[in-house]
């Protein structure tokens, strides 16, 4: 097995043409209610030393086909490493080391790739991941700058303070405008919502036995891209997280982009 270690921020997902629905700051999923009931559960306790292990598979850029894994090598481990890691954009954050093994090398060679994810969580339990919009900028001819921070942003991936389902409301996770090829104005908007609660089966064995049923809160993020005043992409899912109380992500779907693979993961072990 080959091993490589990289420092890459959490990936922003870019898929270039998916139609979708209207994204307004209104109650989620047609709930129609006017009262938001915050989620009070801690959906991702950031305790240094906590380790979450996942099984699953990877998906290829530009289309999302499952990457063949004949030996069943896919495995991802998230380790909470620090709550005071400096960030490229200033300030500090929680550092989560993501060590993922799979058939990612030339010809499907199994390799292990390590990256550090940076996350900030506030007193309401809302949290943001640092992500890169490099693929988006390159796709629209937007200058990417000369340093890493030129393509890095904070994205509000989950906001429990905004509730869930009929008593929830979607949020704007990111919104900024740029100048692309030929002087065209390009706007990138990212939205999020807790769609519903959902009971899912994970594969943990360390503490709870196999096929453990867990009540989770399902969060989805998606994007809208407007170029030259015309919406060219809408409601394109970028991630889905199933978050368990006092646990963190039980399942996750991180959608592939034009340059990077995607991941479909289910919890298989914890050390706490």
Q: What are the tens digits of pLDDT across the range 75-91?
A: 999 999 999 999 999 99
Cα distances (angstroms) measured from residue 171 to each of 1, 216, 238: 42, 19, 15
pLDDT digits (tens, 9 = 90+) for 165-184: 999 999 999 999 999 999 99
Q: Residue 51 has what pLDDT? A: 98
Residues of the chain with pLDDT under 50: 1-32, 206
Q: Which residues contact 241 (CB under 8 A, 6 or more apart)?
A: 157, 158, 218, 219, 220, 249, 251, 252
Q: Which domain holds residue 266?
A: 2-270
Cα distances (angstroms) measured from residue 184 to each of 16, 18, 81, 133, 230: 17, 21, 42, 18, 11
**pTM for this model (two decimals):** 0.86
Three-state DSSP state, 185: strand
* Vertex 179 angle, CA 178 and 181, to 5°: 135
CB 163 within 8 Å of CB 36: yes
Overall domain count for the chain: 1
d(CA 259, CA 136) in angstroms, rounded, equals 10
Closest CA relative to residue 241, chosen from 208, 198, 190, 189: 198
- DSSP tag of 134: H
């Amino acid at each position: 097995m080959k091993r490589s270690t990289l420092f890459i921020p959490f990936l922003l997902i870019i898929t270039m043409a998916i139609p979708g629905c209207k994204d307004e700051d209104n109650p989620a999923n047609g709930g129609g209610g006017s009262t938001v009931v915050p989620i009070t559960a801690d959906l991702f306790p950031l305790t240094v030393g906590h380790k979450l292990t996942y099984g699953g598979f990877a998906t290829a850029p530009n289309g999302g086909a499952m990457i063949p894994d004949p030996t069943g090598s896919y495995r991802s481990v998230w380790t909470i490493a620090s709550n005071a890691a400096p960030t490229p954009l200033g300030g500090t954050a929680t550092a989560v080391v993501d060590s993922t093994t799979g058939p990612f090398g030339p010809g499907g060679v199994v390799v292990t790739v390590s990256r550090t994810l940076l996350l900030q969580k506030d007193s309401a339990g809302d949290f943001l991941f640092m992500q890169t919009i490099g693929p988006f900028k390159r796709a629209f001819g937007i200058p990417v700058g000369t340093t890493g921070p030129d393509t890095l942003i904070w994205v509000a991936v989950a906001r429990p303070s905004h509730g869930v389902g009929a008593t929830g409301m979607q949020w704007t996770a990111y919104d900024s405008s740029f100048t692309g090829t030929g002087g065209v104005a390009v706007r990138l908007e990212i939205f999020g919502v807790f769609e519903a609660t959902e009971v899912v089966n994970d594969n943990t064995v360390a503490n709870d036995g196999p096929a453990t049923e867990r009540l989770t809160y399902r969060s989805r993020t998606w994007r809208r891209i407007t170029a030259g005043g015309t919406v060219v992409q809408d409601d394109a899912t970028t991630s889905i997280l199933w978050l368990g109380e006092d646990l963190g992500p039980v399942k996750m779907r991180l959608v592939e982009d034009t340059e990077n693979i995607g991941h479909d993961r289910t919890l298989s072990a914890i050390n706490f």
